[in-house]
Amino acid sequence: MNKILIIEDEEKIARFVELELRHEGYDTAKAGDGRTGLDMAETGEYDLVVLDIMLPQLSGIEVLRRLRKSANAAAANVPVILLTARDAVTDKVTGLDMGANDYMTKPFAIEELLARIRAALRQVQAQNSVHVPADDGILRAGEIELNLPAHTVTYRGKAVDFTNREFILLRTLMENKNTAMTREKLLAAAWGYDYYGETNIVDVYVRYIRQKTGDGVIKTIRGVGYMVEE
């Protein structure tokens, strides 16, 4: 049974989400502030965390930042779905950049949260079952090398810091060389979910990747999306 931690200080929302999750057969736990939530999440006992951003003691962003640095690998890699205030675009981008898997804008429909939870859990399963190519497990394009087993990136022989999301995005493009990939496809691959038109997130991440590895490797295919050429 999947165990989900809800970190949310608004008791009404937390209780409602908890009841719905239990109804769906999940095991749940709750924390009402950031510090308690972080302590609980760091145990690595949970399969997914629903994390509100506006929290007392430690903000959700800070909880996420610390969680991703956790020495406990299960905790550091746990899927996180953020709950954000309406129009808090900075929070969304910061949150995704820090390794949140997804976000929901309040107020949200519970069915949508449930769908995203299922998608995030599925994505973890898919990632765990991804096989590494039979050769050395290194994808190459231009002057970029992606080392899949080590999860590292080099550009012109130098190590480059990539966030998990950037890595998955570039990897998807490199695994599909010479194929124009739509933003929707890239979203589905890197975020495991269709964002209903919020495909500009892909553009933001492509920009990040280009800043780190030059403009040459990822080509913009007008009206479609992006492509890495052989």
Q: How far is CA 38 from CA 96, 173, 219, in A?
A: 18, 34, 40
| Amino acid letter for position 152 | T
Residue nearest to Ca ion (CB): 54
Please give the structure tokens belonging to residue 50.
């629903």
CA 125 – CA 230 distance, rounded (Å)? 30
Provide the minimum distance between the beta carbon of 55 and Ca ion in the complex, in angstroms, as a whole number. 6
Residue 210 is classified by DSSP as H
The residue among 89 and 134 lying less far from Ca ion, judged by its C-beta, is 89
User: Residue numbers of the site for Ca ion (CB under 5 A)?
Assistant: 9, 52, 54
The residue among 62 and 184 lying less far from Ca ion, judged by its C-beta, is 62
Q: Torsions phi, psi of 117, nearest 5? A: -65, -45
Interacting residues of 71 by C-beta distance below 8 A, sequence separation 6+: none
Provide the minimum distance between the beta carbon of 53 and Ca ion in the complex, in angstroms, as a whole number. 7
The residue among 91 and 166 lying less far from Ca ion, judged by its C-beta, is 91
Whether cis (ω within 30° of 0) applies to the bond prior to 107 is yes
The residue among 42 and 52 lying less far from Ca ion, judged by its C-beta, is 52
Provide the minimum distance between the beta carbon of 86 and Ca ion in the complex, in angstroms, as a whole number. 13
Please give the structure tokens belonging to residue 93.
């981008």
The residue among 85 and 204 lying less far from Ca ion, judged by its C-beta, is 85
CA 84 – CA 108 distance, rounded (Å)? 10
Provide the minimum distance between the beta carbon of 176 and Ca ion in the complex, in angstroms, as a whole number. 40
Residue 32 is classified by DSSP as S
Provide the minimum distance between the beta carbon of 91 and Ca ion in the complex, in angstroms, as a whole number. 12
